[in-house]
């Protein structure tokens, strides 16, 4: 297995996001190791992307999104759900990939949604926001798994129907899995 370092994340966010599918997310806590396989992510390409937290600029909350790459960005959604992101692009370019779903490894329950991912990985606050993606806290490994050609689906991001053109960009990337946060749209015959 190989640790994904900053060089993996310091690239075009729309390339990093699908490249993350199939990789393993690890969390070490209190002598236990939790992990799951990434099956669903969303790209946020701020500051132009009006759906990205960084489109309004640098704030204490968004500081981790501004880099460096290969770090975690954790925020609270709806005042109760934690959401894990991986910072991409060179430092100063505030972009990230949201972890939407994991195929759970041993010891993890349901991870089909950003809040459930964080709950199962025991990310209970924003303390990990800004930490490097290296052991022992939280990190991403490549175990050699590769999705079959054509397996990666692209859809619009979840929960953005109210939005302008940015909410309809096909920046959600998924592998076929029963663990997705939302089923993939049916293809028309």
pLDDT score of 162? 63
- pLDDT tens digits for 145-167? 999 999 999 999 887 766 677 77
Q: Please name every residue paired with 112 in a beta bridge, in sequence order, or none if there are none.
A: 101
Is 188 inside a domain boundary? no
Could you tell me if residue 141 is inside a domain? yes
Is 25 inside a domain boundary?
Answer: yes
Q: Tell me, yes or no, whether 184 lies in a domain.
A: no
84 falls within a domain: yes
CATH of the domain at 125: 3.10.300.10
Residue 28 lies in a domain: yes
Per the domain annotation, does 118 fall within a domain? yes
How high is the pLDDT of residue 187? 64
d(C-alpha 31, C-alpha 157), whole Å: 35
The tens place of each residue's pLDDT in the chain, 189 residues long, gives 999 999 999 999 999 999 999 999 999 988 899 999 999 999 999 888 878 777 787 888 889 999 899 999 999 887 678 999 999 999 999 999 999 999 999 889 999 999 999 999 999 888 999 999 999 899 999 999 999 999 999 999 887 766 677 778 899 999 999 999 998 877 654
- Domain carrying residue 11: 2-174
Domains held by the chain: number: 1
Residues of the chain by 3-state class (helix, strand, coil), percent to 5: 15, 30, 50
The answer to the question of residue 126 being in a domain is yes
Report the C-alpha gap between 184 and 40 in whole angstroms: 11
């Amino acid at each position: 297995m190989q640790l994904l370092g900053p060089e993996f994340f310091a690239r075009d966010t729309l390339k990093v996001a699908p490249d993350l599918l199939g990789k393993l997310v690890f969390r070490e806590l209190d002598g236990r190791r939790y992990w799951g396989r990434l099956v669903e992510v969303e790209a946020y390409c701020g500051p132009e992307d009006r759906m990205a937290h960084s489109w309004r600029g640098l704030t204490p909350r968004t500081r981790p999104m501004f880099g460096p790459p290969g770090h975690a960005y954790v925020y609270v959604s709806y005042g109760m759900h934690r959401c894990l992101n991986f910072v991409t692009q060179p430092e100063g370019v505030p972009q990230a990939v949201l972890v939407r779903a994991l195929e759970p490894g041993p010891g993890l329950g349901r991870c089909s949604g950003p809040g459930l991912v964080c709950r199962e990985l025991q990310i209970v606050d924003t303390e990990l926001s800004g930490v490097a993606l290296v052991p022992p806290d939280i990190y991403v490994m490549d175990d050699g798994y590769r999705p079959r050609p054509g397996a990666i689906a692209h859809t619009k991001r979840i929960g953005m129907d109210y939005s302008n053109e940015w909410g309809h960009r096909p920046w959600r990337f998924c592998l076929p899995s029963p663990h997705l946060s939302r089923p993939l749209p049916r293809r028309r015959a």
